Amino acid sequence: MESMDNNMSLEQFQADIRQGIPAELPELPPYDADINHAPKRKDILTPDEKRLALRNALRYFPEELHAQLAPEFAEELKQYGRIYMYRYRPQYAMYARPINEYPHRSEQAAAIMLMIQNNLDPRVAQHPHELITYGGNGAVFQNWAQYRLVMKYLSEMTDEQTLVMYSGHPMGLFPSHRDAPRVVVTNGMVIPNYSRPDDWERSNALGVSQYGQMTAGSYMYIGPQGIVHGTTITVLNAARRVMNGKDKMPLFVSSGLGGMSGAQPKAGNIAGVVSVVAEINPKAAKKRHEQGWVDELHTSLDELIPAIRKAVEERRVVSMAYVGNVVDLWERLADEGVEVNLGSDQTSLHNPWAGGYYPVGLTLEESKQMMADNPQQFRKCVHASLRRQVDAINRLTERGMYFFDYGNAFLLQASRAEAEILQADGSFRYPSYVQDIMGPMFFDYGFGPFRWVCASGDPRDLELTDRLAAEVLEAERAEAPTDIQNQLDDNILWIKEAGRNHLVVGSQARILYADSEGRMKIALAFNEAVKRGELRGPVVLGRDHHDVSGTDSPFRETSNIYDGSQFCADMAIQNVIGNSFRGATWVSIHNGGGVGWGEVINGGFGMVVDGSEDAARHIRNMLFWDVNNGISRRAWARNKGSMDAIRREMERTPQLRVTMPHLVDDAVIDKAASLF
């Protein structure tokens, strides 16, 4: 029997999966101080609610264990603000194994097990022992009992069943059919009037709801690579916009090296700029440096500022991490007159009160203590810090820096802190990157973060899929209309260079921005390669929710929709419903995400491509809908790129009939408006 990590054989690993929640109490593992742990959550429950939280947690276990587990869980709730059930954390190594190592009756279910374990891989996850993948609160599950029960269900499931997931809790396996999703996931689907940040804290502490972020609770996170491509495209096009032929090396400054934000320095290198990213957490900065995602670590601004000037002067592409507070960095850059060309921020400001943002003037540990013990004072410190940060950014933009919001709620939270971030008409002083770059150039045409994972775990499979994807895009480029040629050129270059840039962390995964035509043709090429045996295992398809169709987010994905519907969530809900009966292997719908609880609804999917005719049919039906649903909505909002794109699609697809808007002359509106 093949040996597993931690001296566990494959047979033992499979037995551990099949048993689910152990009948006997496992030993309590020691607290691992070397792992990056989630901050303590604030004490928000009343005494009666704490009793309810304990009752909710203990329902996973038989009565004879309650007397021993109750005080243990009570201590976790007191010490961490949550009940994680650390005792039940598995002792096998957590990573995406080759698909055939998982005990299963359904290959689709085995693929989902692989993706879940990848989300919790310590190389990938931000707080792996708290089951949080990224963003400070993006959870796969609420506790380890849920993880164990889900893995057991997946090991038993057939292709005639569907597992129903309620915010990390497996409601159960239900009779279904082969074309139905194997798993349906909902996260944070609370009643709208109970969707404030404190409502999340309360419901999560009770163990009844969770923040799934985007790809965390959808089992589709692939490490920082998942965002590096979009960040590269954003930085590349922002630099083109700002430099406009200037013979200088662009300097890009931002913050955050945790989950998604960890992609920034790698993207800066690929885009060919000098990048400086601040990170307050030394463990996060060190991890990115060890993974090769950032070139240099700096702890002193006195040493960093000259290093920045030297790199720009030498025109040397390099990524630097400042291990410290980004406000100190911004203020020093402004004080010393450093010419910054591009600026942004990727602190998790969707989660400002629970570890997403650390205010200037406090150490990391002081912040963690204050957010738990004195949340009102912590809120004041965050607001004061944001005001200082915006003041420094404003000084630099007055000298020519192009600053953009990276969809993390920076502008929104800065406005709530009463920073100088608004214009006279009440609009934000700076654009969202979707408004200026990703929306009009990519989303409106259906280009978005298509991704795949080679379930064999074999790097040779990834190399082959890279080559197949490049061939598809080159063929599409040969006949492409002029308005999408640049997008295809950038993506062809990306996929050809992907292997050289060492983007893999965890599973053998890749991401690529492609439109509807490209995604379907790439997926069909993978399916044929599996069928012919050229690929050694199936391929899992997916995407980030950060796409044309899956997310309704007025301050990010739909921020370039101007007909008033940017606050409506019909698109995301329709997307998931449509994917579920068109062949997705699993679907998910979440409240929350990168801009905050109550600020966005986003839907995702996963699809297993196994070389079958069923898979080919699902690819044609589902991927077509998954993209064109969003293009149609954007076309109805009068976005010109989407109107052009959907007209072309209707010419290619006779069965497609989309309601198109009639455009009104401004003079007609002006004349009628005079009657108001």
542 is in an annotated binding site: no
279 is in an annotated binding site: yes
Cβ atoms of 166 and 591 closer than 8 Å: no
Cβ atoms of 110 and 586 closer than 8 Å: no
Phi, psi of 52 (to 5 degrees): -65, -40
List of residues 6+ apart from 373 with CB closer than 8 A: none
Cβ atoms of 406 and 345 closer than 8 Å: yes
The C-alpha atoms of residue 228 and residue 238 are separated, in whole angstroms, by 15
Three-state DSSP class for residue 264: helix
10 Å Cβ neighbour count for 475? 12
135 is in an annotated binding site: yes
The C-alpha atoms of residue 151 and residue 143 are separated, in whole angstroms, by 13
Three-state DSSP class for residue 514: strand
Three-state DSSP class for residue 19: helix
List of residues 6+ apart from 526 with CB closer than 8 A: 452, 465, 468, 535, 539, 541, 609
Residue with tokens 């990938």: 124
- Closest Cα partner for 649 from 548, 485, 517, 547? 517
Please return the burial class of 500, using the count of CB atoms within 10 Å of its CB with bins 0-12, 13-18 and 19+: exposed
358 is in an annotated binding site: no
Instruction: Give the relative orientation of helices 459-478 and 516-532 as an angle to the nearest 10 degrees.
Output: 140
Please give the C-alpha separations between residue 246 and each of 120, 239, 242, 337, 400, in angstroms, as whole numbers. 44, 10, 9, 19, 13
Cβ atoms of 100 and 224 closer than 8 Å: no
Instruction: Give the relative orientation of helices 107-119 and 144-156 as an angle to the nearest 10 degrees.
Output: 160
Three-state DSSP class for residue 3: strand
Cβ atoms of 109 and 197 closer than 8 Å: no
Please return the burial class of 265, using the count of CB atoms within 10 Å of its CB with bins 0-12, 13-18 and 19+: buried
Question: Hey, CA dihedral for 88, 104, 163, 455, is it positive or negative?
Answer: positive
**Cα Rg of the chain (Å, integer):** 24
Find the largest Cα–Cα distance for the chain.
82
List of residues 6+ apart from 546 with CB closer than 8 A: 214, 227, 230, 407, 448, 449, 556, 557, 594
518 is in an annotated binding site: no
Instruction: List beta partners, residue 609.
Output: 539
Instruction: Give the relative orientation of helices 225-243 and 264-271 as an angle to the nearest 10 degrees.
Output: 50
In total, the chain counts a number of residues equal to 676
Please give the C-alpha separations between residue 606 and each of 476, 551, 618, 670, in angstroms, as whole numbers. 24, 15, 12, 48
Please give the C-alpha separations between residue 629 and each of 551, 560, 626, in angstroms, as whole numbers. 11, 16, 6
The C-alpha atoms of residue 668 and residue 622 are separated, in whole angstroms, by 41
List of residues 6+ apart from 231 with CB closer than 8 A: 263, 264, 267
- Closest Cα partner for 12 from 120, 92, 68, 79? 92
The C-alpha atoms of residue 351 and residue 197 are separated, in whole angstroms, by 8
Binding site as annotated, residues: 135-136, 213, 279, 406, 594
Q: Which residues are annotated binding-site positions for NAD(+)?
A: 135-136, 213, 279, 406, 594
